[in-house]
Amino acid sequence: MTCQEFSRLTTEYLARALPEAQRAAYAAHAQSCAVCGAELAREEELDGLLRGVVTADTVAADRVNAAVRQRIGAEARVQRTRALQAMAAALVIGVAGWGAYAALHVPAVYAQAAGDHRREVVDGQRRVWVSDLREIQTLGSRLGLAAVPVETLAPAGHTFHHGRLCRLDGKLFLHLTYRSSESEISLFVQKPDTAPAALIGRDTVNGHSCWQRGDVAAVQTAEMQVLVTGTAEPAVIARYAAGRL
């Protein structure tokens, strides 16, 4: 079973709708592939959370709101995420109002960026990183970026630490981390999105579009899109970067 087939069958696996042989092949792949196994674990957690909320005798609006905000960073694939969001949104609108409903509609790429920062930077899960700026430029060229302005992107008071390629919502990004004595911030760089999601709070800084959704802010120029997370005020960092690009 390929990783693509695995992802496509996740919904049916969780619903116990797969034939026994296919279910066994799915489970075997989850055991042998660390990436897909981690994806399944996140899917099972999110599925259990939403099932528990839907079947509960009483629903605490604050708990729903907090739980959804926490688990929306679980990096579900696009199709399944949309289905789960629709189910949870119908419940949340009735018990917690528009604020919790809006929290569900965080595009997958932003939720996954926040999740990557939490696992790889905050929790320190082992990854292969590079810190040499020439190697960073080589990684950037693999994304079609003519140049990666590593130092220009540095948040105020922070210095570049290291970077690596990663996937967010199926697309390759260059994950750059910056450190100060008090914090560590992640920037995810990619070629500009030709059709960025219509998000609340979009504005313009230095001729570049900036916006925020959830715990992630973004700035887009003609050459690149940069996602910012790992700080209580990601929009401030995004606007700072926009002013320097």
β-partners of residue 185 are 178
Q: What is the model's pLDDT at position 36?
A: 80
Find out whether 42 and 71 touch, Cβ atoms under 8 Å. Answer: no
Q: What is the model's pLDDT at position 99?
A: 46
Q: What is the model's pLDDT at position 203?
A: 79
Return the HEC string of 113-177.
HHHHHHHHHHCCCCCCCECCHHHHHHHHHHCCCCCCCHHHHCCCCCEEEEEEEEEECCEEEEEEE
Q: What is the model's pLDDT at position 81?
A: 52
Q: How far apart are the C-alpha atoms of 79 and 74, rounded to whole Å?
A: 14
Structural domains in the chain, CATH included, are 3-105 (no CATH), 109-244 (3.40.1000)
Q: What is the model's pLDDT at position 91?
A: 53
Q: What is the model's pLDDT at position 74?
A: 46
Q: What is the model's pLDDT at position 104?
A: 45
Strands (E), the chain: 159-168, 171-179, 184-190, 203-205, 208-213, 216-220, 225-229
pTM over 0.75: no
Q: What is the model's pLDDT at position 4?
A: 74
Q: Which residues of 59-76 are buried (b: 16+ CB within 10 A; e: fewer)?
A: eeeeebbebbbebbbbbb
Q: How far apart are the C-alpha atoms of 27 and 14, rounded to whole Å?
A: 11
Q: How far apart are the C-alpha atoms of 22 and 29, rounded to whole Å?
A: 11
Per-residue pLDDT of the chain (245 residues; tens, 9 = 90+): 888 788 778 877 877 778 888 999 999 998 988 878 888 887 777 666 555 544 554 445 555 555 555 555 544 444 555 455 555 555 554 544 444 444 445 678 888 898 899 999 998 888 899 999 999 999 999 899 989 999 999 998 999 999 999 988 888 999 999 999 888 999 999 998 765 554 445 778 888 888 887 788 888 888 999 999 988 788 888 888 888 88
